[in-house]
Structures are given as C-alpha cells and as structure tokens.
Amino acid sequence: MRVEVLGAGIVGLAVADELARRGYGVEVVDPDPGRGASYAAAGMLSPSAEVWHGEQALLELGRRSLALWPDFADSLGVRVHCTGTLLVGRDAGDLQEVDRQAGLVDSLGGCVEQVDARTCRRLEPTLATVAGGALLPEDHSVDPRAVLGALLDRVPVQSTSRGADLTVIATGAVLPQPYAALVRRVSGEVVRARTDDPPRRTVRGWARGEAVYVVPRPGGEVVIGATSEEHDTAARVTVGGVARLLTAARELLPGLDRAELVETTARDRPGTADNLPLVGPTHEPGVILAAGHFRHGVLLAPLTAQLVADHLDHGHLEPTTDPRRLLEPR
Ligand SMILES: Cc1cc2nc3c(=O)[nH]c(=O)nc-3n(C[C@H](O)[C@H](O)[C@H](O)COP(=O)(O)OP(=O)(O)OC[C@H]3O[C@@H](n4cnc5c(N)ncnc54)[C@H](O)[C@@H]3O)c2cc1C
C-alpha cells in the first residue's frame, strides 16, 4: 500500500517516520516543510500546565504520549529537557491562578506539588520575589526545531502530490475540503531570546494577571510565549503581543532585561470544537486525519504516529480522537 502524508509539520513527519519504520511505502507532500505551527512551538511536553476543566481525556492522551517521548527523542538523537515545570504567581492574585491550576491538575489525577515562595527561589535562583508556586514534575520540554530537523533528515518531502492508495491529512491549521470547518485558527506569538543566565527549567506563571511561560534550551536560548487569539486572517506578530509577553516575563525573571532579542514568530494553532485532536478515519475510504492538535501538537506527535500506524496495521480506533465524532453522519 502506498501512503501519502499531506503536511510536513511535526505531526505529519512523525506519522510518516513511523509508517516507514513499519514497512509502508510513504511519501510526504508539503510545499513549505517544517515552517508551520511546529516552527513556532515552545516545545513544552506539558500535559498538566494547560489542562482545563473537563479535559481529562486530553490529559490522558498527553500523559500517554509523554511516555513515548524518551524513545522517540532517542531515535532522533534529540534531547528531552527533564527538569519539570515550575508554576509561579507574582502577587497574591496571581497565586490564586496557580492554586486553581494546581487543584485542577490534582483533581484530574495529574502530578503536582505545591511549593512556597522560598522553595520557588531555591529551585529557580533567577526568579523575582514571587508569592508562591507549584511544581509539575512530569511536564518537560524539547526543541521542536531540532525534532523537525532530525525528522526531515530521515523523511524525504515532495512539493506536489503524485497520488496514493491512502492519504493522511496532517496540514495543521488549514485542512482541505470537506474538512476545513473542523479546525479553527488560534494564533500565537512567541519571542526567542538568548541569555547567559537562563532558568533551569520551564517557568510558567502569572504576573499581574498576565499569563506567560519561559522555556530554556541548551545553549542559552529561551522561548517566551505565548499570546492566543482566534481570527480569520494570517497570524502576525504585533507590538502589543510582544510587549505583553516581555513585560510579564521580565516581572518573573528580571535578568531577562540583559538577554539578546533573537526572533519573534507568530503561527496558527489548529483548534477543534472539543480541543481534542482528530486522529483516525473519515467517512471517505482511504482518507485519514492527523490534525487538530491545538496547543499540544509537539507533545502528541509520537502518540499520533502510533495511532495512525496501528489503525493501518490492524484497524485500531481511538474513540476520543476519532474524527467522525465531529463529522456529519453520512
Ligand atoms: C506560539 C505557539 C506555541 C506552541 N507551543 C507548543 C508547545 O509548547 N507544546 C506543544 O505540544 N504544542 C505547542 N504548540 C502547538 C503546536 O505547535 C501544534 O499543535 C503543532 O505544531 C501542530 O503540528 P502540525 O504538524 O499538525 O501542523 P504544522 O506544524 O502547522 O504543519 C502543517 C504543515 O502542513 C503544510 N500544509 C498546509 N497545507 C498543505 C497542503 N494542502 N498540502 C501539503 N502540505 C500542506 C504546511 O506547509 C505545514 O508545513 C504551539 C503553537 C504555537 C502557535
């Protein structure tokens, strides 16, 4: 069987890599490989920090995929940054947000440990004075551009389709018809900076009501993100978005004042109606979706690859991600 994967973002490339590993003849088609949302992503492998009420199923998918990351990263020669995530609140109001998130993670069976202000500073000496925080020991990170680079070295990509027996649609925030309406575009801006005094782990938090994260990479790069806005036009970097991110990040990590500003980027996250991804068959024979990963496409890439390959191998269906839950019945 010849399989064509449309889209060379982290999801399409991970799917193609897994299918090739299992012996399928695979072609990937993308006129601009590796430059979609995956290029902007901060790379948090973070099932807990962004989970919301009613998102138990998403948390479970995230934790399953997180468990696959060490082997996936090893196979690509990429490092997972395994120091957990520190959630912090700058003032008493911000700490209420931390407590709410920590309580939610705990109630959903996730792993969280409340820490006082002094422990926050001990864990992260570059922090400003904060009101308190919580440690999410399971929430790690990876450099998505390193992952994309390693996958693109292994998976050749064509710019135009040559036809196939089966098509996997992994085109991120813009799906072809008749699937376009399944995904909404939620733009996000991020800033990349370089510092000789980065935090040791991902620091997320609220500063005077503004949410922000700072993800460190080996070599001193930090990714500061992210704004979030639903819109119909192409994602773009705005003065206001960057200003809000930098103000909040400097409130939590004042040493960032001396960091070198390297890059600003904006891309669209592919959101779905229930915030769960679309992975599995459609009503159209020979058309499979691997899309709609919203805020968690990096985290969910290895699980998505496995689910698509398991479906082709032996018809496996994952009810929570089955795209037909959001498609009109035939
Ligand atoms: C600012 C920001 C920060 C983020 N941070 C994180 C994070 O920390 N952790 C996390 O897990 N997720 C994060 N995400 C979400 C994550 O980036 C996405 O969920 C993920 O990248 C989606 O991957 P994808 O491969 O589906 O899409 P994309 O990376 O967008 O790739 C889609 C590809 O399809 C191609 N394409 C489009 N149309 C066609 C067509 N008709 N034919 C062929 N190819 C086509 C495009 O050129 C593109 O290369 C973040 C997103 C943003 C915007």
Per-residue pLDDT tens over the stretch 58-70? 999 999 999 999 9
- The helix/strand/coil state of 95 is helix
Handedness of CA 53, 171, 224, 203 (dihedral sign): positive
Does residue 330 carry a pLDDT above 80? no
**Of the residues 229, 248, 271, which one is the last residue of a structural domain?**
271
| The predicted structure's pLDDT at residue 156 | 96
- pLDDT at residue 152, as a whole number: 98
Residue 297 Cα, ligand 1 centroid: separation in angstroms? 7
Please check whether residues 297 and 167 belong to one and the same domain. yes
| Nearest protein Cα to ligand 1, atom 37 | 171
301 vs 307: CA distance, rounded Å: 10
Residue 43 alpha carbon, nearest atom of ligand 1: 8
CA of 257 to the centre of ligand 1 (A): 30
Domain of 261 in residue numbering reads as 85-137+184-271
Same domain as 107, residue 10 = no
Percent of the chain clearing pLDDT 90 (strictly above): 92
- pLDDT, position 110: 85
Domain match, 191 and 77 both: no
Mutate-to-test residue for ligand 1 from 183, 269, 308, highest number of ligand atoms within 8 A of CB: 269
Q: How far is CA 187 from CA 237, 238, 262, 296, in A?
A: 9, 11, 20, 14
Same domain as 98, residue 145:
no
Question: Is the pLDDT confidence value at 207 over 80?
Answer: yes
Residue type at 32 in one-letter notation? D
Most informative mutation of 4, 11, 50, 185 for ligand 1 (most atoms within 8 A of CB): 11
Whether 77 and 127 map to the same domain: the answer is no
User: What is the average per-residue pLDDT within 4-23?
Assistant: 98
Which of 224, 239, 271 marks a domain boundary?
271
Inform me whether the pLDDT recorded for 128 exceeds 80: yes
Residues 34 and 107 in one domain: no
**Are residue 197 and residue 78 in the same domain, yes or no?**
no
126 with 24, same domain: the answer is no
